Structures are given as structure tokens and as C-alpha cells.
Structure 1
Amino acid sequence: MLQQVNQLWSLLDDMSENSPEAYQKFIRHHLEEGMKQFSPPDPHMCFQTRILEFSEKLLYVNICSWSRVPAPKSESDPVPLGGGKLEENVEGTEIYSVTDVAYNPEVLKKGSEGPMERDQLICLAMKYIEEQHSLHLSHTYTLLKDKLKGSKKQMKQRLTGKAGPAQTAKEIASGESGASLLQQLTNLKIADKENEENNPSIQLPSDIRYPKKPGLIEEISSTEFDSGNKVETPKYQLLIKDENEKAKTIQLRVELPEVSSVTECNLSVSKDDLVIDVPKKYRLQLDLPETISEDIVTAKFNKKTHILAVGMPIK
């Protein structure tokens, strides 16, 4: 089997050099798959309830659709979901909190079939919030007209744990943006491990179970897709190049000295971010300084210099 895998890698290397069209088709296929995996969460609905603590205060919960959260494997499996941080805000004299709960798009599609299904998803989200954040919530709620409280950027930051000021194009190009991506991933992994230890899976009351499904909450960590192995953030250079008066391209050059074949690299590009993953060796995740046309991204790996060059036309 190992021999067959090596033959396949060699074949793809030859393809990149001798059959660029077939190679581009191969890359495009993986880009499309990566877009599904790394697409941002999409607002679905927002409801308001109350935190019943020492002094009551409003809680806004954004329910969002996110392909990063897997769908249940079968009707008898628990419904996976992902949760965001609890954020406190002040509006005038009123203090309120905001958090987010993410479901797979297929789960939300089923939850939109009727009021009962929608209510089950909301009750499941509230039960999760109570367990995750050690809160006591009112189980009466109001469904709001707006699908989102706050902004999409804030929602994504709460769900992924990545907060802080936005980076400039210069900071992205130089890589001088404070803590490294590896450090951020490490901190998130430690935090998720502590949460798993302190908040084990819980059994839901029968009145908010899906029919024929055990009432378990399966939390999907923002770092679940990290392999757990120690990897490095590779050196890179990000530039915006003028092709002509109307066309501009973001050019990324990434040094991968321990990589000998393009097939070792997993490249995922969306309109505003990019992820390069070499299992057990390198991982690079960048927020792009401009919106790009992800359908016509080009990528080429030089086996002599071990440099991956990615060209991304700006819309």
C-alpha cells in the first residue's frame, strides 16, 4: 500500500510539470472542498432570553449555519454543535450578553421544517449554553426579526476564539502580528482541553430530544481540525502586485523546506482567507487583505527551491 501511495505522489508531481491542465483541475477540486470546510459561519436566526443570576440581564443568542460542524451520522446519533464565547456588551444604560451556537446546515434545514423542530434547536442551544457557561437561563425566549445580533466578524471571532484588532496588509505580509498562529492554536487547544474536563457530555431531558435520538450534546471545538501534532508556521511573503491598470493579484510565496512533493500540501482558499496544511510539519492560516476570486486561484510548487507560489486575483 505504501508503494502505491508513493507511486500516486510521483504521478501527481509529474502531472504538475507535464500536464498543467490536469493539475489545475486537481487543485480546483481541492479548493472547492476546502471552501466548504473553511467557509465562515452564516447567520440563521437570533433569539433573546434572560440570564437568571443575581441580577437578571438579557442574553442574545445567534444561531448560525457552519459547514465546519458535522451533521449527525445517523438518526440515532447526537446532534453536534459548536459554541462561542460569552461576550458582555453595554448599550446606553443596559448591560446584555451575546453568544453564538453553530449547527451543520443540514441540521438547520431540518429545523426549519416547522415551529416544533425550530423550538427543539433553540432549547438544545439554551441547554448547551447553561452547561458550558454555568448559567441559569429563562426557558422562555423571543425570536427576533434580525438574524444576527452584532456583526458577522464578531460572531466568527467568538466561535473561533480569535479576537483582537484587525491586521493591516503590511502586518500580514511581514508576519509581524503579535502571537504566532502556532501559539494561538496551542492556547486554544489547552483551553478546549480544560473545558472538556470540566464540562463532560450531558444528558438532555426527554422533552427536548429529537425523536429516536439520544439527547447528548457533542461540542465541536474550534481547534478540532488541528491534528494535535506540533507543527511550524512556515516563512512566507505576501504581496499585492499590479498586473495592469485594472487587474491586481495577491501573490503568496511560502517556504516549505521539508516538503518534497506538492501532494503533501493541503491548500484551501476562500474569498477572504487561506489555509496551507502539511500534516505533522507546517500550518499557515491567513486573513487576506483583499477579497479575491477563489475560482481562478493558481498554485505551483517548485521541488528545487521547496517554495509554494499561490496567485490570487483580486475582485
Structure 2
Amino acid sequence: MSFPEGVDRDSMMKQAQNIWTMLDEMAENDHGAYRKFIDKHMKEGKEYMKPAEPHMCVMTMITSTKRKYFINFCSWNKVPDPKTPEEAIPVIGTQVLQDKDENGDFSYSGVAFSPKILEEFGIDCINLSDRSSLINLAIDYIHNQHKITLSRSFSILPSTTRVKGNLQVLQKALQGKHQNSDEEFDGQLSDLEKTFGLQGSGAKDSLMNKLANLSTEDNTQEKHAPNIQIPGLGKEQPKKQNLIEEVSSTNQRQSSEVKTPTYSLEEKYKEENLEELILTIKLQGVNKVSECELDISEDDIELAVDNRYHLNVSFPYLIDDSNASAKFNKSNSSLVISLPVQT
């Protein structure tokens, strides 16, 4: 049994003793309630002890080296929800890891959020702007933790590929971040379990994990959560039009009337070779391509629609900008740009 760093052992032992005293009295006076209590916490303890599960994987790149970088979003019961919509979203992240596949070397890491956060803002989120905000928050977190600047241009891998890299290594890395082993404390709890009697045998881990979760919630949030928020997190809160505003060193702050359009960047393969990137930009209210100003280079693209939209996207690969082409779809006001990748 182990607990996050910074937990007062004496305080936790005192709480453990109080719990065992309460259960001892319950076992003597109301055996049915005692059995129900134990069963309930055994079940909850098993859920709590499950490792982080892959939810979605996002591909971007390290801007300084153009190296591929995969962010593995994981759902984990050990990450608490924010107490209010205004509070920072707790997140636990791994170190930067390295791996390779048939396309070459790449870097990757894991970020774990509570199941509720990923249910509302993850891969199945209806509002693409909400999902993009969560992904950008993860990019901010990685930058703050590891001093790595990642491109804001990203693509979400298909749901059939929810993890990139070694899942077991990611799970162990997350577990190592969350817990600091303490054999002496675990031994003391085992002694308590023995003195409590055989009826409570096996309940130690589940009950104490729940106790750790409740007693260290504030400690976990403070240690692992950067100052990241999604306003309007609670469903009872009114929806805000702009969830997050970013100001980077390369982009000046836009006026409140100019919006960043929703977009996606997908890879198109011919057989097993990457052929081109397809950038799709949603431009609600735009009726023709002549309203758009495009500036395409081999590593990024800038789009501007006078007083309405502005977008700058960095490419994860060098593209053949001389052969790029754009097509505007009037039926859904979307601009589709084909970007051949340099060979």
C-alpha cells in the first residue's frame, strides 16, 4: 500500500485506526451492515486500483526538431475532478518517452484526466472547440513540465489507435508519478488488519486507497494540476462562446471580433507511404474562396478572412507548397486544402 508524496503518515494512521474502530463496532452490532459496507468498498477499491486506460491519441510535433510527438490521453479514476468549474483541471503526466515504428523514431508521453473530463471533452465530444481546448491544455502542460514546445497543429488518430508507444510503460510511469512506496506504513496497516480479525481480511487495500483518495485530494490536485481550466465545465453553467484564449510568441492577440475557425489536419496515405496532408477549415458565414487570403509555405499556412477569421497552422511535415491546392465547399462553408508532402 502506498500514498502520494507529502502525506502525513501519523495523520493517516490515526484515520486508519478510527476507521477500523468504527468497523469493529459495526461488525459486533450490525453484521449485515458491516458486510454490506465491506463489499461496497471492496468493489469501489477494485475500480480505484485499475490502471489508466487509453482514451485517445493526438499526433503533433516538436517545433524545434520537427520530430513526431504523440500525446496519449488516458482515463484514470485516481485523477480527481475539479471541485468547481472555475478550478484548475487536475492532470497527471509522464516523462517524455522514446520509441520507433515503421515510419521512424518518435517521442511520446501520457496525460491522465478523470473519466468525467474525458467523457465531456474527449474523443467523442460533440463540440470540436471544447475538444481542441482540452488538447491545447495538454500541450500547455507538457510545455510547462518538460520545456518542450509542441506545434499547435495536431491530428487525432483513429479510434482504433488509442495509444502510441508502449501502453505498459505509460501505465507504470503514471503509477510512479502518483504513488511513493512505503513498506513500513503498509506493514502497520497489515498489523491492524490482523488484529481486526478475519472478517476484515482483504479489505485493507480497498478501504485505505479510498481513504487516501479522500484525504489527499487537495494534495494531488495541487501537485499534479497546472493552472489549466475549461470555463463552463459544469453542465449547469451557461455556455461561453470562447472557452480559452491563447497568446503565443508568434501570434499577436486578435480582436474580439476575429475568431479562430475550427479545423482538422489529416494524413492521406497511398499504400503505406504518406502522400499529402488534408487541411479542412470550417468558415461559417463565408460564401466563396475569394474572401479568403491564404499564405502557404513549406512548414505552415496562414489564413485570414477580413474581420472574421484568422488561423495559423504549423505542419508536422515539410510540404510541397508549389503544388498545394484549395477547394471551397459552399454547401457547408468549408475550405479543403490539399498539401502534398515532400518526398
- TM-score, with structure 1 as normaliser: 0.51
Structure 2 unaligned regions, length at least 5: 1-15, 213-343
User: Hey, what's the Cα distance between the residues in 1 that align with 2:143 and 2:178?
Assistant: 19
State how far apart, in whole Å, the 2-side matches of 1:277 and 1:68 are: 10
Q: Is residue 2:138 matched to residue 1:138?
A: no
| Number of residue pairs aligned between Structure 1 and Structure 2 | 190
Cα contact 1:31–1:267 (8 A) shared by 2: no
Please tell me whether the aligned partners of residues 94 and 174 of structure 2 are also in contact (alpha carbons under 8 angstroms). Answer: yes
The alignment status of 1:222 with 2:178, answered yes or no, reads yes
Q: Does 1:261 align with 2:196?
A: yes
Q: Distance in 1 between matches of 2:211 and 2:89?
A: 30
Residue in 2 that maps onto 1:91: 101
CA offsets 1:198-229 (integer angstroms, 9 cap, x no match):
xxxxxxxxxxxxxxxxxxxxxxx513xx6x98
For the residue of structure 2 that corresponds to 1:137, the secondary structure is: coil
1:133 positional shift:
1.0
Q: Distance in 2 between matches of 1:144 and 1:47?
A: 6
Choose from 51, 55, 70 the match for 1:40.
Answer: 51
Is 1:61–2:39 an aligned residue pair? no
AA aligned opposite 2:47: K
Distance 1:116-1:98 versus aligned 2 partners, 3 A rule: same
1:49 maps to which residue? 60
Gaps of 5+ in 1: 162-220, 236-253, 280-315
| Amino acid in the other structure paired with 2:46 | M
CA contact (8 A) 1:59 1:96 kept: yes
The aligned residue for residue 115 of structure 2 is 105
In 1, Cα distance between equivalents of 2:54 and 2:154: 18
**In the alignment, what sits opposite 2:239?**
none
Q: How does 1:192-271 map to 2 (within 5 A)?
A: 221-223=177-179, 231-234=184-187, 256=191, 260-261=195-196, 267-268=204-205
The one-letter code sitting in structure 1 at the alignment partner of 2:196 is S
Q: In structure 1, the residue corresponding to 2:140 is in which secondary structure?
A: helix
Contact 1:87 1:97 in 2 (8 A): yes
Equivalent position SS for 2:110: strand
Structure number with bigger Rg: 2
8 Å Cα contact 1:47/1:144 also seen in 2: yes
Identify the match of residue 77 of structure 1 among 65, 76, 87: 87
Aligned amino acid, residue 187 of structure 2: P
Q: Is the 8 A contact 2:45 2:209 kept in 1?
A: no
Give the AA of the match of 2:112: A
Letter in structure 2 aligned against 1:87: L
- Report if the CA contact (8 A) 1:264-1:278 is conserved: no
Amino acid across the alignment from 2:162: K
Deviation per CA, 1:48-67, whole angstroms, max 9, x where unpaired? Answer: 011123x3211111111111
Aligned match of 2:34: 23
Q: Does the residue aligned with 2:37 lie in a helix, a strand or coil?
A: helix
Letter in 1 for 2:43: E
Letter in structure 1 aligned against 2:204: L
CA positional deviation for 1:267: 2.8
Report the identity percentage.
Answer: 28
Q: 1:157 to 1:232 in 2, by over 3 A?
A: same
1:148 partnered with 2:169: no
Report the AA paired with residue 92 of structure 2.
G
- Equivalent residues of 1:48, 1:61 under 8 A apart: yes
For residue 306 of structure 1, what is the aligned residue in structure 2?
Answer: none
Query: Following superposition of structure 1 onto structure 2, how do residues 124-203 of structure 1 map, counting pairs within 5 Å?
Result: 124-145=137-158, 146-161=161-176
Deviations 1:134-174 (A, max 9, x none): 1111111111011111354232112123xxxxxxxxxxxxx
Paired residue type of 2:147: S
Q: What amino acid is aligned across from residue 151 of structure 2 in structure 1?
A: S
